[in-house]
Amino acid sequence: MTDLRSQLQGLWLPLVTPFRDGELDETSLHRLVRHYADGPVDGLILAATSGEGMTLGIAELERVVALVRAGISESGRYLPICLGLSGASTRKMLDTLDETAAWPIDGYLIASPYYLRPSQRGLRQHFSALADHASWPIVLYNIPYRTAVNLTNETLLELARHPNIVGLKDCCADRTQSIDLLRRRPAGFRILTGEDAQYYEALGDGADGAILLSAHIETETFASVRTLLREGNRDAALARWESIAELTRLLFAEPSPAPAKYWLARTGLIERAEVRLPMVEVGAELAAQLDAEMARRREASPQAA
């Protein structure tokens, strides 16, 4: 186990969950883990939105965690893992924290309760109860366009004082709110953007890193954008960003993670692009666009994709 607060920076990957004939594809999952563990990834998020976590049963979740931890161990490095959790019932979430307390993870990424649209007071009490109870540190996940409720900065600043709440995946979709939080956050409270298309801007605003589905592709390029910015080479960082900015649009042209899974299957990292209902695989038009982009990148650089 590592200190999640210190590890929560850089480029984190919300790993997709590969399936084959409706079941977990363990062979593809192992291949994915070994591939990314050998690259410039600073941590993994499992079973969140990109990992189709809400379609996984508790036994499948446990199996995914065990397989990923084993694959990381084979790589010879320690890569921190956060388990994505979400739910509208505080009581059920507390039960899930109990069920997962002994798993080989480093923390949780927990989204706001969906559908119910609780007040800010309700959100504070919900996350405080989870943080009081959890055996592992919690990273908050603010994504109001999915949950229908926004964690305001006042609420986030209050929650950030809890010793077991160590950071935020910021998908508030309001740059003004994000910049204000970055300016006012307490020391040691980590903020990573989860908005793929705003990666460059968020780093420039002071984010500690990012959790990006798009970084399944061109991982080294995504990582180099942050490295170059930290070195003060903004021109080179911008050039790198501009080389992958269009990729973030394509990978979200249909509901995620279907486009990314299509790309990963076409390039051989996973066997199939299969997703679980209510998600569906990409349509023919987007598939053709993704194929064309893959071909373009192969022509530009044999190592791309």
Per-residue pLDDT reduced to its tens digit, 213-231: 999 999 999 999 999 999 9
Q: What is the pLDDT of residue 305?
A: 43
pLDDT of amino acid 226: 98
Asked whether 217 and 305 are in contact (CB, 8 A), the reply is yes
Mean pLDDT across 264-289: 98
> Do 169 and 142 touch, CB atoms closer than 8 A?
yes
Q: How much is the average pLDDT of 143-153?
A: 96
pLDDT on residue 304: 45
Q: How far apart are the first and last CA of the chain?
A: 32
Instruction: Report d(CA 137, CA 124) in Å as an integer.
Output: 16
Give the amino acid at 2: T
Taking only the tens place, the pLDDT of each residue in 35-90 is 999 999 999 999 999 999 999 999 999 999 999 999 999 999 999 999 999 999 99
DSSP-derived letter for residue 92 is: H
Q: What is the pLDDT of residue 1?
A: 43
Active-site residue identified among 78, 114, 145, 169: 169
149-153, 197-201, 298-302: least confident range: 298-302
Of the chain, the percentage scoring pLDDT greater than 70 comes to 98
- What is the predicted pLDDT for the residue at 2? 57
pLDDT digits 0-9 by tens, 235-260? 999 999 999 999 999 999 999 999 99
* Alpha carbon distance 243, 296 (integer Å): 12
The confidence score (pLDDT) of residue 301 equals 75
pTM over 0.85: yes
Buried-exposed string 206-235: b where 16+ CB fall within 10 A, e elsewhere: ebbbbbbbbbbbbbebbbbbbbbbeeeeee
Q: What is the mean pLDDT of the chain?
A: 96
| Residue with tokens 């084993």, as numbered in its chain | 70
105: annotated binding-site residue? no
Q: Please tell me the distance from the alpha carbon of residue 222 to that of residue 202, in angstroms, as a whole number.
A: 13
- Pull the structure tokens for residue 34: 């070994």
Give the whole-angstrom CA distance, residue 67 versus residue 85. 18
Task: Give me the catalytic one of 108, 141, 199, 262.
Answer: 141
**Domain parsing of the chain, residue ranges:** 4-242
Question: What's the token pair of residue 155?
Answer: 């609420």
Q: Which amino acid is at 95?
A: D
141 part of the active site: yes
Partners of residue 23 on adjacent β-strands? 20
Is 270 within any annotated ligand binding site? no
- Write down the CATH number for the domain with range 4-242: 3.20.20.70
Confidence of residue 300 (pLDDT cuts 50, 70, 90): confident
162 has pLDDT over 90: yes
User: Could you tell me if 5 and 167 are in contact, meaning their C-beta atoms sit under 8 angstroms apart?
Assistant: yes
